[in-house]
Amino acid sequence: MTTDDGTADALRAVRDAAAERAVLDGDDARRYLALAGTVERVREDRSSSPGGTLAAALACTLAVARLSDLPPTAFGGDDGSGSATRLAESDDGTETGTGDAAASPPSPPSPGSAVPASPWSTATSTRELVADGAVVAVRRFDADTDTVAARAGLSRADLESRLERES
């Protein structure tokens, strides 16, 4: 086994553990799905990005740190009041929350021009990472689509559409 094979195995293990945690335990499921989605993107992009193993490890470490700092509402999830928020995109591209927790916290300040924007710096980007993780969870563990969609804050139709596109 080469170092690249070891890195790929390690990334798969992290991705699978995060997806499994989201499937088995609904607490913080969106955060774990976002981590699984992030690791999957890193794993897929690893061959085309410079740095290989080191870059993959750094990206995963930064993802864990950043996703841990975000409030649950950043994932369209439970705000602690017991009511979940599902984000919906309107015709003009803006996002609105549905449910009891429709109000979202203000966005963090954007980084300066010298700092590249993180891939999870917007609600849409974070939602896409959660959706990527949901696809991983359904594919990897043959998980129930309804359960994963609910934990991801996606409609079943949206998740099924993503699964069809990815196949």
The pLDDT tens digits for 35-59 are 999 889 888 876 666 666 677 777 7
pLDDT of 38 reads 87
Apex 136 CA angle, 142 and 165, nearest 5: 95
- Other C-beta atoms closer than 10 Å to the C-beta of 150 total 18
Percent of the chain with pLDDT over 90: 32
Element at 24 (helix H, strand E)? helix 3-24
* pLDDT band per the 50, 70, 90 thresholds, residue 121: low
Q: What stretches of 47-155 show up as alpha helix (H) in DSSP?
A: 52-69, 123-141, 145-152
pLDDT at 160 over 90: yes
Model confidence at 15: pLDDT above 80: yes
